[in-house]
Chain A
Amino acid sequence: EIVLTQSPDFQSVTPKETVTITCRASQSIANSLHWYQQKPDQSPKLLIKYASQSISGVPSRFSGSGSGTDFTLIINSLEAEDAATYYCHQSSSLPYTFGGGTKVEIK
């Protein structure tokens, strides 16, 4: 089973700052890595697919990069509405797995 390790677990950020979240896979997953945003009492929402592909309707301040084992989600110019928990997920091999999540709080 592929283990995804996210860091940090928690980040407190002021509006307009840039947030960087990393996700490391225990073995190479090429670019089969996706990012989600989940707000309290809501279903997760897809932000980025296949490491760097943007999703229609998702603000352009969200971007992703990486391949192999190391991946990054960047939120540029953070807005108050971005307060949420962010998860990475791999679909390279079964069983699919998720990272532990990164909670982003707005100061």
Chain B
Amino acid sequence: QVQLVQSGAEVKKPGASVKVSCKASGYSFTSNYLHWVRQAPGQGLEWMGIINPIDGTTSYAPKFQGRFTMTRDTSTSTIYMELSSLRSEDTAVYYCARDSWLSSWGQGTLVTVSS
């Protein structure tokens, strides 16, 4: 079955960067776009970006342009997100998800930004 397994929780200081991974299995990695979505504590879902696993092309939400990067490694069927210049407002659970209709989701990775 389709699985998206994310890396573990992170604690970072303001101004630092964080990199989170999402390993896909149970389907052909290059057959579907993959996304990152985040959710701040007690808040709603926020779409961050999309990556084409075939050629690595990306598109990001304007809010994150300039400090957000998505990459992929086809040899390990893994995508990554890196968010830089972290601030307290970036404290959230970060999810990866598959397909334009977000059919499958990772388990979420809590990123805490605190001094």
Contacts and interface: CB of A to CB of B under 8 A. Distances in A.
Interface of A: 1, 32, 34, 36, 38, 43-46, 49-50, 55, 85, 87, 89, 91, 94-101
B41 to A, nearest CB: 11
Contacts of A55: 103
Given A44-B105, A101-B44, A95 B95 contact: no
B62 A46 contact: no
Interface of B: 35, 37, 44-47, 50, 59-62, 95, 97, 100-108
B101 A50 contact: yes
Contacts of B37: 44, 98
A98 B101 contact: no
Contacts, number: 56
Contacts of B104: 46
A95 B59 contact: yes
Contacts of B107: 43
A1 B37 CA distance: 16
Nearest to A91: B100
A96 B35 contact: yes
Nearest to A90: B47
